[in-house]
Amino acid sequence: MSAEPLVTVRDVSVEFAAQNGVVRALDGVSMEVFPGETVAVVGESGCGKTTLARAILGLQPVAGGRIVVEGHEVHGTSRGLAERVGIVWQDPYASLNPKWKVGRSVAEPLRIAKRTGDVGAIFSEVGLDPAFVDRFPHQLSGGQRQRVAIGRALALRPPLVIFDEPTAALDLSIRAQILNLLRDLQEELGCAFLYISHDLTTVRFLADRVAVMYLGRIVEAGPTAEVFENPRHPYTRALMDSAPTLEKLGTLPEPLEGEIPDPTTRFPGCRFAGRCVSASPACAQDPAGTTEGLRVYFCHNPVNVSTSAAVS
Ligand SMILES: Nc1ncnc2c1ncn2[C@@H]1O[C@H](COP(=O)(O)OP(=O)(O)OP(=O)(O)O)[C@@H](O)[C@H]1O
Ligand SMILES: [Mg+2]
C-alpha cells in the first residue's frame, strides 16, 4: 500500500431535509482509499453508501468535513474530477442513454476530456464484441449493458472507479462473470476500486479492505479477511450471520432483528445500541475508535473481548 492515499474522507457529514426533521445520511465518516486497492463499503439499505459515493464524486454537497482526491479538495461539482474518478451505478439500463448507440456512451467521456481512445479496444477489454458499438442499450442483455457501463467508467483510465451495487440488478450467473471481469481489470489496469455492496460474498471475493456502515457512520473497518473471520463490532457480526450461505444462495438474507432507528432522530451514543445483543449503559456514550493492527472499530462491548476488559 502506498503511503499517499488517493482519496481521503475526513469527518464528513451530509444532511438532507426531511418532512419531520433532518436526515444525517453521513455522520462523521472518515476513510481512505490507497492506489490500486479495493475497498468495499457494506451496510443495510439507507446507511449512506450511495451518499458517500456521490460525495466523493463531487455530486453531493457536504455539511461538514472534507474530501480530498489526489491532493485536491472536492467542492461540490469539482471540475476535472470525472476524469479521475469513474462510476458504475447499479442499473446500467438507467445509466446509459437509451437513444445513443452504446459505442457513443463509451466515447463520450473521451470526447468531453478531448482525449483520443479506441472504443472498440475498450469493448474487447470488458469482454464485448467490438461490433456491439453500433447497438442500442435495449439490444443488449443486462450483463452486456453493465459491461458497457464498466467500459465507459474505465475509458479515461481513472486511478479510482466507484461501483455502487454493480451486480445487484443481474442474475446470479451473470454476477459471477462481472465479478471475474472486475478482478481481471483491476489486475491489468492497477486502478483502485471503491466497491459498494450489500452482497458480502462478492465483497469477500473482491475487496482488500472493508468498511462497515450503520446509519451514517462507519462502525468497523479493516482487512477483509480479518473483519469477516473475526468481526469485532456486534453489527458486523450480525451482518455476517444474516448473510446467505452457500446452501441459501439465491434467497434473500434474513433481516436483522429490531428496527433501524428513525434517521431523523438525533441521540447520543452508539447508533446500533437499540438492536444490539451486547448493549450496556456505556453505549449511551459515543464509542471512541479502538485500533487493533490495521483494524478499527467503534464499540464499548466488542465481540470476542471479555466485557471486563472492554468496559473500563
Ligand atoms: N436526495 C435525498 N433527499 C432526502 N433524503 C435522502 C436523499 N438521498 C438519500 N437520502 C436519505 O439518506 C439516507 C442514506 O441514503 P443512501 O441512499 O445513501 O443509502 P444506501 O446505503 O445507499 O441505501 P441502499 O442500500 O438502499 O442503496 C437514507 O435515510 C435516505 O433516505
Ligand atoms: Mg445506495
pLDDT in tens, 144-169: 999 999 999 999 999 999 999 999 88
The residue that leads in pLDDT, 180 or 265, is: 180
Closest ligand to residue 213's CA: 1
Mean residue pLDDT across the chain: 89
pLDDT of residue 248: 47
pLDDT at 250 > cutoff 50: no
Closest ligand to residue 43's CA: 1
Distance between Cα 52 and ligand 1 center (Å): 10
Ligand 1 binding pocket mutation candidate from 19, 23, 41, 215 (most atoms within 8 A of CB): 23
Residue 25 CB less than 6 A away from ligand 1: yes
What confidence tier does 19 reach under pLDDT thresholds 50, 70, 90? confident
Q: Percentage of residues in the chain with pLDDT exceeding 70? A: 88
- Ligand 2 is an ion; residues with CB less than 5 A from it: 49-50
Distance between Cα 117 and ligand 1 center (Å): 35
| Close Cβ partners of 71 (under 8 Å, ≥ 6 residues apart) | none
Residue with the nearest Cα to atom 14 of ligand 1? 48
pLDDT at 265 > cutoff 90: no
Distance between Cα 47 and ligand 1 center (Å): 7
pLDDT at 311 > cutoff 70: no
Given the CA of residue 263, which atom of ligand 1 is nearest to it? 29
Residue with the nearest Cα to atom 8 of ligand 1? 51
Closest ligand to residue 198's CA: 1
Q: Which fold has domain 7-229?
A: Rossmann fold (3.40.50)
pLDDT of residue 83: 85
Q: What is the mean pLDDT of residues 31-46?
A: 95
Q: What is the mean pLDDT of residues 195-218?
A: 94
The residue that leads in pLDDT, 111 or 19, is: 111
> First vs last Cα of the chain: how many Å apart?
35
pLDDT of residue 149: 97
- Name the maximum alpha-carbon separation found in the chain: 66
Ligand 1 binding pocket mutation candidate from 19, 20, 49, 87 (most atoms within 8 A of CB): 49
Choose among 58, 24, 25, 52: nearest CA to 39.
52
pLDDT in tens, 165-179: 999 889 888 999 999
Residue with the nearest Cα to atom 5 of ligand 1? 16
> Are 298 and 231 within 8 A, CB to CB?
no
Residue 46 CB less than 6 A away from ligand 1: yes
pLDDT of residue 63: 93
Q: Which residues of 70-90 are buried (b: 16+ CB within 10 A; e: fewer)?
A: beeebeeebeebbbbbbbbbb
pLDDT at 111 > cutoff 90: yes
pLDDT of residue 309: 45
Q: What is the mean pLDDT of residues 216-236?
A: 95
Q: How far apart are the C-alpha atoms of 102 and 123, rounded to whole Å?
A: 10
What confidence tier does 75 reach under pLDDT thresholds 50, 70, 90? confident
Q: What is the mean pLDDT of residues 198-214?
A: 93
Closest ligand to residue 24's CA: 1
Residue with the nearest Cα to atom 28 of ligand 1? 46
pLDDT of residue 143: 95
The residue that leads in pLDDT, 268 or 56, is: 56
Distance between Cα 46 and ligand 2 center (Å): 7
Q: Percentage of residues in the chain with pLDDT exceeding 90? A: 73
